Amino acid sequence: MPDLTPNIGAHVSIEKSSLQQVLDVLKTMGYSLVGPTLGEGAIVYDDIDGIDDLPRGWTDRQDAATYQLQKRGDDSYFGYVVGPQSWKKYLYPPSYRLGTVERKNGSYSSTPNDEEAPRYALIGVRACELKAITIQDNVFLGGDYQAPCYKSRRQSAFVLAVNCTEPGGTCFCTSMDAGPQVGPGFDLALTELDDVFVVEIGSDIARHVMSEIPWQPSGAFELQAARRAIASAETRMGRQLDTSDLPDLLYNNLDHPRWDDVAQRCLSCTNCTLVCPTCFCSDVLEISDLTGQKVDRVRVWDSCFSLEFSHVHGGNIRPATRSRYRQWLTHKFASWIDQFGSSGCVGCGRCITWCPVGIDVTEEVAAIRMEGPQQ
């Protein structure tokens, strides 16, 4: 019999209810499903069992320091923007035991953490988030020294991406060339239409998944509808960021008075770095048991906004909020490019939505540009 499995790069259409079969196949392959669901007054990423756990019929309205869940007037499964969490909590967990040192019989033994990586199927990855994952790939896997925990989790993950047709009030992914259409790196990419999902096949393992699902080649009408939906999303971004003169604009304005202005508003609460899908600052803690015979070495998320993060031998190199905010923003839009070859921002807008005082990176960069270089 001929092989009727869709090829990589093919577009096929499935009934919306067939998404449950896709998830069931992934579960039989040993994947743990994690995806968007309602929780804590937001759309969060958590364990899911099937399509009934998805935020069907819900959306989220966002602006600076504003997030609100709302009911939609339809039954869209992916008709929301992005929630407060990103996928890095699964690939680069907030707390991870690197290893253990134990004292026995007067000597010490060291045991690295060799736990098997969980096999996550990431359900509903947006274009900006997939771009963020590729940026973290470069950070953790692109150099001479690779992060074993990240590497094993990344290699084990299945990415079911979703083209964005619902940009939010703080989104500017088009400015950062990160959306709304998903780029390379997905296994399956969905575009949600009224009656069907248009599915693009991105990998051999995705071909295997689709071999178990009833599908039909997408017709011209469906493909055109999918293209229109994505094109419409491109025109409805809530924010814009001119990147044409970055990073020079920031490098030439390290003493700009705008840094003092934003420092008056910034709380150094670290929210922006915790919700950011690309921030990767960390610390390593030594945690002893009560007997003092065993110590776990644990890596935890940290933030360049934390005062102690910049404490080095001889003192703190960024003791003021002004210098810490400047470091964060110039790293995102300037020195990240020098360091890794791309910007560290994907325009997801989380740092704007979840800043408790509504500091907006697009507004800060625009203000520096408008006021001109400082002499």
Q: What tens digit of pLDDT does each residue of 84-120 get?
A: 999 999 999 999 999 999 999 889 999 999 999 999 9
Rounded mean pLDDT, 12-16: 97
Distance (Å, whole) CA 174 – CA 181 = 9
**Mean pLDDT, the chain, integer:** 96
329 within 8 A of 322, measured Cβ to Cβ: no
The pLDDT of residue 50 is: 97
Confidence of residue 372 (pLDDT cuts 50, 70, 90): low
Token duo for residue 179: 């959306």
The pLDDT of residue 314 is: 87
The pLDDT of residue 375 is: 45
Question: Could you read off the pLDDT of 208-238 as tens digits, one per residue?
Answer: 999 999 999 999 999 999 999 999 999 999 9
Share of the chain above pLDDT 70, in %: 98
Distance (Å, whole) CA 226 – CA 164 = 10
In sequence order, the 6+-apart residues with CB closer than 8 A to the CB of 75 are 56, 57
Question: Could you read off the pLDDT of 39-69 as tens digits, one per residue?
Answer: 999 999 999 999 999 999 999 999 999 999 9
Question: Could you read off the pLDDT of 68-84 as tens digits, one per residue?
Answer: 999 999 999 999 999 99
Task: Select from 262, 265, 281, 264 the least CA-distant residue to 273.
Answer: 281
Cross-strand pairs, 71: 58
Confidence of residue 313 (pLDDT cuts 50, 70, 90): confident
The pLDDT of residue 373 is: 59
In sequence order, the 6+-apart residues with CB closer than 8 A to the CB of 193 are 222, 225, 226, 229
Report pTM.
0.95
pLDDT(187) > 90: yes
Rounded mean pLDDT, 140-159: 96
The alpha carbon dihedral of 182, 198, 159, 63 has a sign of: positive
